[in-house]
Amino acid sequence: MITLKSPREIEAMEKSGAALAGMHLGIREFIKPGISSWKIEEFARKYFKAAGAKAEQIGFEGYKYATCVSVNDEICHGFPRKNLMLKKGDLVKVDTVVSVDGFFSDSCWSYAVGEVKPEIKKLMDVTKKALFMGIDQCVPGNRIGDIGAVIQHYTEDENGYGDVREFVGHGIQPTMHEDPMVPHYGEHGQGLRLKKGMTITVEPMINTGTWEADTSDPSGWLAKTADGGWICQYEHTLVVTDKGPKILTSQDPEADAKYIYDDNYAKYLDHYGKIAREVAEQFK
């Protein structure tokens, strides 16, 4: 069921989104070659506890971790692993869902471990631009297909990448995954019409090679690219408004100024960012 959120609900999701964005600000402080992907999980759990946020992925359909940490050719749902040591040049995707006072947010971010190859830097730049191109389509009256069409054209037709089909964005609140599904491929003018008050995620997963995924991992969770190509993902939670799409998980309210819902967001992020940096000091 799709629910249209009231201003009160959107403001509560802003707070949750800022708490999640704080995690990403903290990860930037210590991610480097030589740490294990498990260190990211440890940090996230400690930070969420300090921030008063609930890690909603723990227990979801049997998943045991607060984060998904996927490296290089791993598309998504990678377990944080004590024996997976990050190396210079790796591309790491960290995805999580949290709630604060019962309100949800969802965001994934990609991190270069040290200096990456130019072709990986380009992949990251193209994927991030595709994210915002998709977000810009999230206005009342547009359709779901408009989001996917601009992402697919830019990533596949203009840049020759693979635009993953198996995993898509989604509605969010009052639970982690709600209708509508939000593919990152499609046709203009097709699909559900967007309305003011919808809260959704846009989260393109873009591969250097084929768009096809290998989901045969025995864990039942981890997905990899079918051809071993490296994958990048960025994801924001947002709300559709009459003043354009408003991002609820921004890590930089100044750079994202036109996408910020109201002045409360920057205050929330400042609060959670301070907590995250304090916790991150213990992981350097």
CB-based contacts of 273: which residues, under 8 Å, 6+ apart? 21, 22, 25, 26
Q: What is the mean pLDDT of the chain?
A: 97
Annotated binding-site residue? 235? yes
pLDDT tens string 77-125? 999 999 999 999 999 999 999 999 999 999 999 999 999 999 999 999 9
Annotated binding-site residue? 95? yes
Annotated binding-site residue? 203? yes
Confidence of residue 1 (pLDDT cuts 50, 70, 90): confident
% of the chain surpassing 70 pLDDT = 100
Do 280 and 26 form a contact (C-beta atoms < 8 A)? yes
pLDDT at 55 over 90: yes
What is the rounded distance in angstroms from the CA atom of residue 60 to the CA atom of residue 95? 14
What mean pLDDT do residues 158-174 have?
Answer: 98
Q: Which two tokens stand for residue 171?
A: 């509605």
Annotated binding-site residue? 77? yes
pLDDT tens string 213-255? 999 999 999 999 999 999 999 999 999 999 999 999 999 999 9
273 alpha-carbon distance from chain centroid? 17
CATH class of the structural domain 7-283 = alpha beta
Element (H, E) at 205: strand 205-207
What is the per-residue pLDDT for 31?
98
- Name beta bridge partners: 76: 223
Q: Which two tokens stand for residue 274?
A: 């301070």
- AA identity, residue 51: A
Q: What is the value of pTM for the model shown? A: 0.97
pLDDT at 270 over 90: yes
Annotated binding-site residue? 262? no
Is it true that the peptide bond before 180 is cis, omega within 30 degrees of 0? yes
